[in-house]
């Protein structure tokens, strides 16, 4: 049985002091050990987060990583540097990296490859735009985006499905839409890395998941958690989602 994973992506929010305050507040809620929890602060807040999370059951992720271990890449951060900080996870290929910063399928894969090579766990993001969905191209886009993942270690990989049209818009994929996309991704990953590995692979939903819809989405057969954006910035909403995941893991579903 796949353990549910709740990952908070803070994007460009929370400096070091805010990060410490938030983490202390979440730890005080005693988040359930029945689900895996990760927070992903900005680069400058990673040291403060690492110090507080060392002895906790909450993991720490970076929001991006370069594909080279070192070199003349001004402004970039390498996987070995993240490992030195105590980071154990990294988000790769987020839609905002793709749409705003020219990330491609190839560069996202290279980042994932480098991260795994340094011992990091990878959350690899995929998802279609509204135009692509309306054109009936959702599955073709997803197939292309995961095409290189068969060369990675599936045991240290998580895939996050984030319909771009549902990120920060307040719109959410219906349970049927989410399940269809997740089931397709699991089938495609089965073709790439084998049925056994695909059966163990966790696929997160990443489109405006919040306390109001968490239980319904997390109960879907192929949804193994969430990559949370805005709702992860508030202690009460993030904790509520973790609680919903714990209820789901215990079989208490709607």
Going from N- to C-terminal start, the domains of the chain cover: 5-249
Fold of 5-249: TIM Barrel (3.20.20)
Collect contacts of 72-78 with beta carbons under 8 A, ≥24 apart.
Answer: 77/43, 78/114, 78/118
Three-state helix/strand/coil letters over 99-114: HHCCCCHHHHHHHHHH
pLDDT of residue 253: 62
Question: pLDDT of 59-101, one tens digit each?
Answer: 999 999 999 999 999 999 999 999 999 999 999 999 999 999 9
Question: What residues are labeled active site?
Answer: 94, 162
Supply the pTM of this predicted model.
Answer: 0.96
Q: What is the mean pLDDT of residues 223-234?
A: 97
**Nearest CA among 108, 106, 121 for reference residue 7:** 121
């Amino acid at each position: 049985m796949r353990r549910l994973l709740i990952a908070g992506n803070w994007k460009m929010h929370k400096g070091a002091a805010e990060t410490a305050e938030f983490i202390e507040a979440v730890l005080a809620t005693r988040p359930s050990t029945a689900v895996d929890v990760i927070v992903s602060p900005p680069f400058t807040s990673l040291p403060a987060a690492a110090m507080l999370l060392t002895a906790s059951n909450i993991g720490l992720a970076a929001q991006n990583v370069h594909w080279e271990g070192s070199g003349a890449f001004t402004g970039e951060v390498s996987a070995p540097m993240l490992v030195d900080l105590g980071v154990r996870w990294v988000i790769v290929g987020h839609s905002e990296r793709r749409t705003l910063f020219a990330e491609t399928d190839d560069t996202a894969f290279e980042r994932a490859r480098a991260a795994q090579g340094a011992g990091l766990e990878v959350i690899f993001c995929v998802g279609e735009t509204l135009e692509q969905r309306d054109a009936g191209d959702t599955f073709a886009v997803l197939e292309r985006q995961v095409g290189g993942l068969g060369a990675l270690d599936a045991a240290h990989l998580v895939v996050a499905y984030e319909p771009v049209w549902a990120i920060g818009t307040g719109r959410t994929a219906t349970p049927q839409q989410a399940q269809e996309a997740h089931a397709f991704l699991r089938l495609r990953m089965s073709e790439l890395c084998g049925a056994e590995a695909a059966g163990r692979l966790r696929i997160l939903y990443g489109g405006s998941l919040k306390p109001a819809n968490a239980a319904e989405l997390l109960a879907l057969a192929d949804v193994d958690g969430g990559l949370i954006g805005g709702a992860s910035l508030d202690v009460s909403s993030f904790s509520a989602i973790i609680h919903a995941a714990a209820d789901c893991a215990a079989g208490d579903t709607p």
